[in-house]
Amino acid sequence: MSKRDLKKYLHQLTKDQLEEQILELYEKFSPVKVYYNFVFNPKEDTLLQECRLKISNEYFPIQTAAKKRKKPKMRRSVAQKYIKHFVTLGVDPYVIGDVMLYNIEVAQTFAAENIIKQELFYKSMFNSFEQAVVFMIANGILNEFKSRIESIHKETITQRWKNEPEFHAIIERFEY
Protein backbone atom coordinates (compact mmCIF):
# COMPACT_ATOMS: atom_id res chain seq x y z
CA MET A 1 0.00 0.00 0.00
CA SER A 2 1.37 3.40 -0.93
CA LYS A 3 1.35 6.38 1.39
CA ARG A 4 -1.30 7.98 -0.80
CA ASP A 5 -3.55 4.90 -0.53
CA LEU A 6 -3.05 4.85 3.22
CA LYS A 7 -4.05 8.51 3.51
CA LYS A 8 -7.14 7.83 1.44
CA TYR A 9 -8.05 4.84 3.63
CA LEU A 10 -7.49 6.77 6.88
CA HIS A 11 -9.55 9.69 5.61
CA GLN A 12 -12.53 7.34 5.20
CA LEU A 13 -12.40 6.18 8.82
CA THR A 14 -14.29 7.81 11.65
CA LYS A 15 -12.46 9.21 14.68
CA ASP A 16 -13.48 6.18 16.77
CA GLN A 17 -12.23 3.76 14.11
CA LEU A 18 -8.90 5.61 13.94
CA GLU A 19 -8.54 5.48 17.71
CA GLU A 20 -9.34 1.77 17.69
CA GLN A 21 -6.69 1.08 15.04
CA ILE A 22 -4.02 3.07 16.84
CA LEU A 23 -4.75 1.28 20.11
CA GLU A 24 -4.57 -2.07 18.31
CA LEU A 25 -1.19 -1.12 16.79
CA TYR A 26 0.01 -0.01 20.22
CA GLU A 27 -0.94 -3.35 21.76
CA LYS A 28 0.33 -5.60 18.93
CA PHE A 29 3.62 -3.99 17.91
CA SER A 30 6.38 -3.26 20.39
CA PRO A 31 8.05 -0.55 18.23
CA VAL A 32 4.75 1.37 18.12
CA LYS A 33 4.49 1.14 21.90
CA VAL A 34 8.09 2.30 22.35
CA TYR A 35 7.48 5.20 19.96
CA TYR A 36 4.33 6.42 21.72
CA ASN A 37 5.89 5.99 25.16
CA PHE A 38 8.76 8.20 24.01
CA VAL A 39 6.52 10.77 22.30
CA PHE A 40 4.38 11.26 25.41
CA ASN A 41 7.17 10.92 27.95
CA PRO A 42 10.50 11.75 26.28
CA LYS A 43 13.03 10.92 28.97
CA GLU A 44 16.07 11.67 26.83
CA ASP A 45 18.30 12.00 29.89
CA THR A 46 17.34 8.53 31.11
CA LEU A 47 17.86 7.05 27.65
CA LEU A 48 21.23 8.78 27.39
CA GLN A 49 22.42 7.50 30.78
CA GLU A 50 21.30 3.95 29.97
CA CYS A 51 23.08 4.15 26.63
CA ARG A 52 26.30 5.51 28.15
CA LEU A 53 26.30 2.74 30.76
CA LYS A 54 25.91 0.04 28.10
CA ILE A 55 28.69 1.51 25.95
CA SER A 56 31.04 1.82 28.93
CA ASN A 57 30.26 -1.74 29.93
CA GLU A 58 31.46 -2.95 26.52
CA TYR A 59 34.98 -1.72 27.31
CA PHE A 60 35.01 -1.68 31.10
CA PRO A 61 32.71 -4.49 32.26
CA ILE A 62 31.00 -4.08 35.60
CA GLN A 63 31.54 -7.15 37.70
CA THR A 64 28.78 -8.21 40.04
CA ALA A 65 28.04 -11.41 41.91
CA ALA A 66 25.65 -12.45 39.14
CA LYS A 67 27.92 -11.52 36.24
CA LYS A 68 31.58 -12.43 36.30
CA ARG A 69 32.52 -11.36 32.79
CA LYS A 70 36.01 -10.00 32.97
CA LYS A 71 36.95 -9.60 29.34
CA PRO A 72 35.73 -6.51 27.46
CA LYS A 73 33.77 -7.23 24.30
CA MET A 74 34.50 -3.88 22.58
CA ARG A 75 31.49 -4.14 20.26
CA ARG A 76 30.80 -1.02 18.20
CA SER A 77 27.42 -2.52 17.34
CA VAL A 78 26.05 -1.75 20.81
CA ALA A 79 26.46 1.99 20.27
CA GLN A 80 25.25 1.72 16.67
CA LYS A 81 22.01 0.06 17.81
CA TYR A 82 21.36 2.85 20.29
CA ILE A 83 22.14 5.51 17.70
CA LYS A 84 19.78 3.91 15.19
CA HIS A 85 17.09 3.59 17.88
CA PHE A 86 17.51 7.25 18.87
CA VAL A 87 17.23 8.37 15.24
CA THR A 88 14.05 6.29 14.82
CA LEU A 89 12.50 7.82 17.95
CA GLY A 90 13.40 11.32 16.86
CA VAL A 91 15.70 12.05 19.79
CA ASP A 92 17.38 15.47 19.76
CA PRO A 93 20.34 15.41 17.32
CA TYR A 94 22.54 16.92 20.05
CA VAL A 95 21.95 13.81 22.21
CA ILE A 96 22.68 11.52 19.26
CA GLY A 97 25.88 13.42 18.47
CA ASP A 98 26.91 13.13 22.11
CA VAL A 99 26.44 9.35 22.03
CA MET A 100 28.39 9.05 18.78
CA LEU A 101 31.40 10.84 20.25
CA TYR A 102 31.08 9.20 23.65
CA ASN A 103 31.46 5.78 22.03
CA ILE A 104 34.75 6.81 20.43
CA GLU A 105 36.00 8.52 23.59
CA VAL A 106 35.38 5.42 25.72
CA ALA A 107 37.10 3.25 23.10
CA GLN A 108 40.09 5.59 23.13
CA THR A 109 40.24 5.50 26.92
CA PHE A 110 40.31 1.71 26.70
CA ALA A 111 42.95 1.76 23.95
CA ALA A 112 45.15 4.06 26.05
CA GLU A 113 45.21 1.44 28.82
CA ASN A 114 45.31 -1.74 26.72
CA ILE A 115 47.15 -3.07 23.71
CA ILE A 116 44.74 -3.64 20.85
CA LYS A 117 46.03 -5.85 18.06
CA GLN A 118 42.91 -5.99 15.90
CA GLU A 119 43.16 -3.58 12.98
CA LEU A 120 39.38 -3.81 12.69
CA PHE A 121 39.06 -1.90 15.99
CA TYR A 122 40.82 1.14 14.53
CA LYS A 123 38.92 0.95 11.26
CA SER A 124 35.66 0.68 13.18
CA MET A 125 36.49 3.72 15.31
CA PHE A 126 37.33 5.69 12.19
CA ASN A 127 33.98 4.71 10.63
CA SER A 128 32.22 5.87 13.80
CA PHE A 129 34.17 9.14 13.72
CA GLU A 130 33.33 9.79 10.09
CA GLN A 131 29.65 8.99 10.62
CA ALA A 132 29.53 11.30 13.64
CA VAL A 133 31.04 14.23 11.74
CA VAL A 134 28.74 13.70 8.75
CA PHE A 135 25.72 13.47 11.09
CA MET A 136 26.71 16.66 12.90
CA ILE A 137 27.24 18.57 9.67
CA ALA A 138 23.88 17.38 8.34
CA ASN A 139 22.14 18.51 11.54
CA GLY A 140 24.01 21.81 11.86
CA ILE A 141 25.52 20.98 15.25
CA LEU A 142 29.19 20.56 14.33
CA ASN A 143 30.35 23.72 16.11
CA GLU A 144 28.93 22.51 19.44
CA PHE A 145 31.07 19.37 19.21
CA LYS A 146 34.17 20.75 17.49
CA SER A 147 36.39 20.64 20.60
CA ARG A 148 35.49 17.01 21.32
CA ILE A 149 36.11 16.06 17.70
CA GLU A 150 39.52 17.72 17.80
CA SER A 151 40.30 15.99 21.12
CA ILE A 152 39.50 12.63 19.56
CA HIS A 153 41.87 13.42 16.69
CA LYS A 154 44.62 14.53 19.11
CA GLU A 155 44.20 11.26 21.00
CA THR A 156 44.75 9.28 17.79
CA ILE A 157 48.06 11.14 17.46
CA THR A 158 48.99 10.54 21.10
CA GLN A 159 48.18 6.83 20.85
CA ARG A 160 49.89 6.59 17.44
CA TRP A 161 46.98 5.03 15.63
CA LYS A 162 48.02 3.87 12.18
CA ASN A 163 44.93 5.40 10.62
CA GLU A 164 45.47 8.83 12.21
CA PRO A 165 45.93 10.44 8.75
CA GLU A 166 42.36 9.41 7.92
CA PHE A 167 41.10 11.15 11.08
CA HIS A 168 43.19 14.19 10.13
CA ALA A 169 41.62 14.26 6.65
CA ILE A 170 38.15 14.46 8.23
CA ILE A 171 39.27 17.32 10.49
CA GLU A 172 40.75 19.21 7.55
CA ARG A 173 37.44 19.10 5.68
CA PHE A 174 35.63 21.27 8.19
CA GLU A 175 38.50 23.48 9.41
CA TYR A 176 38.55 25.55 6.24
Interval 61-81 mean pLDDT: 79
Domains contained in the chain, number: 2
Residues 75 and 48 placed together within one structural domain of the fold: yes
End residue of a domain, out of 26, 41, 56: 41
- Quote the domain boundaries for residue 34: 1-41
* 133 class by beta-carbon count within 10 Å (0-12 exposed, 13-18 middle, 19+ buried): buried
pLDDT tens figures, 132-170: 999 999 999 999 999 999 999 999 999 999 999 999 999
Residues 55 and 37 placed together within one structural domain of the fold: no
Question: What was the pLDDT predicted at 54?
Answer: 92
Measured torsion, CA atoms of residues 143, 112, 116, 73, in degrees rounded to the nearest 10? -80
Residues 80 and 3 placed together within one structural domain of the fold: no
Distance from C-alpha of 58 to C-alpha of 56, rounded to nearest angstrom = 5
Question: What was the pLDDT predicted at 66?
Answer: 62
Residue 92's pLDDT band, with cuts at 50, 70 and 90, is very high
